[in-house]
Amino acid sequence: MANGATNPSRLGQANAAGDVLALFLKKFAGEVLTTFATENVFQALHTVRTIENGKSAQFPVTGVATAAYHTPGDNIADSGNSYLSNIKHGEKVINIDSMLVASSFVANIDELQNHYDVRSIYSTELGRALAMQYDKTVSQVIALGGTSPIGGDGGSNLTCENSAGTEPSASELVDQIYIAAQTLDEKNVPAEDRYCVVRPEEYYKIAQSSTTLFDRDYGTTSGVYEKANLPRIANIQMVMSNNTPRSVLSEDTATNNTYHGDFSDLRALVFQKQAAGTVKLLDLAVESEYQIERQGTLMVAKYVCGHGVLRPEAVVAINQTS
């Protein structure tokens, strides 16, 4: 049985070890440097729904209608004439996961001796930790639309034509992005709100590959070579993120949705906004409480939501050759 002991973050320790007073100064003589925040991009790139209560949310899915030439005199309403469209209906259900938390405990004596305020810094960092996890999970869900058995419903999986075990070149990646655009077009996926998310390595590789990508004669969506802002490729907006998966991720029993899989070869994600969805029960919140019995402040950041594939046909995963 736990004894109720807490493992506080000691502000005076260097690298969380040794003397608990080592970093305390007699006088503050510089600025506070916090960990660089990872830029989160997937929040605006997929479908988000907020619910007030419940354990899951239903996303209705409808099929398509058909057309036929009418013969004069035929009754359109007669099912035997095959004029009526039998539009299929289905649903995608996304479950709510367990509450995700990031927390820290600050001892009162450390705050008294410290030379700058840490509560606001800690609150920010805890929120960033959760925001980064949110981004990672959404990217995994989108990747599953093209790389896992879920993709059997319509997701696509492309492989760069490079030597096995070697990184694809910029031209190979661009070629596959065009093929991805063609694939989405052939599946009648809407042309608007299409994105290609790559890691910095692939992003700058493409940016350096050819200055012709930045030719302003192509239109107002051209990029800026000076700032390495990539233009659209095949009318797909290029986005850079450190949070796309690139390893084998095992199942987490605290989740009620599928987020795990083998993403080792993933090099780019091409998708449309309807590809994935998030059901939000509790938005990101940060709270703190001074605990007299522990003589310190407990800070907790939390959110409750779930993520899932909505339209796998709107996902194309681009991989390197294994």
Kindly indicate the confidence band of residue 30, based on its pLDDT and cuts at 50, 70 and 90.
low
pLDDT score for 210:
62
For residue 104, give every residue at least 6 positions away whose Cβ sits within 8 Å of its Cβ, in sequence order, or none. 9, 122, 126, 298, 299
Band of pLDDT at residue 226, cut at 50, 70 and 90: low
pLDDT at position 179 over 60? yes
| CATH (residue range 42-319) | 3.30.2400.10
Which residue has better confidence, 249 or 219?
Answer: 249
- Over range 81-87, report the average pLDDT: 82
Cα separation, 266 vs 199, whole angstroms: 10
Specify the pairing of strand 315-319 against strand 276-291.
unpaired
Q: Is 0.85 topped by the overall pTM?
A: no
* Amino acid at residue number 307: H
- Residue 224's pLDDT is what? 60
CA distance 128 to 45: 18
Helices (H) and strands (E) in the chain, counts: 4, 13
Average pLDDT over residues 145-165: 73
Which one, of 281, 273, 285, 282, lies nearest residue 310 by Cα?
Answer: 273
Q: Residue 152: what pLDDT?
A: 45
Mean pLDDT (whole number) for 271-299:
91
Average pLDDT, the chain: 84
Task: Please check the confidence at residue 64 and state whether its pLDDT lies above 80.
Answer: no
What gap in Å lies between CA 105 and CA 111, rounded to an integer?
11
The predicted structure's pLDDT at residue 235: 92
φ/ψ (deg, to 5) at 290: -80, 125
The band of 218, judged by pLDDT with boundaries at 50, 70 and 90, is very low
Which residues pair with residue 62 across a beta bridge? 89
Higher pLDDT, 270 or 224: 270
Question: What is the phi-psi region of residue 105: left when phi exceeds 0, alpha when psi lies from -120 to 50, beta otherwise?
Answer: beta
Instruction: Say which amino acid occupies 61.
Output: V
User: Distance between terminal CA atoms of the chain?
Assistant: 48
Query: Domain-by-domain residue ranges, the chain?
Result: 42-319
* SS3 category, 51: coil
Asked if 182 contacts 191 with a C-beta cutoff of 8 angstroms, the reply is: no
Provide the token pair at 131.
């925001």
Closest CA to 115 of 33, 32, 34: 32
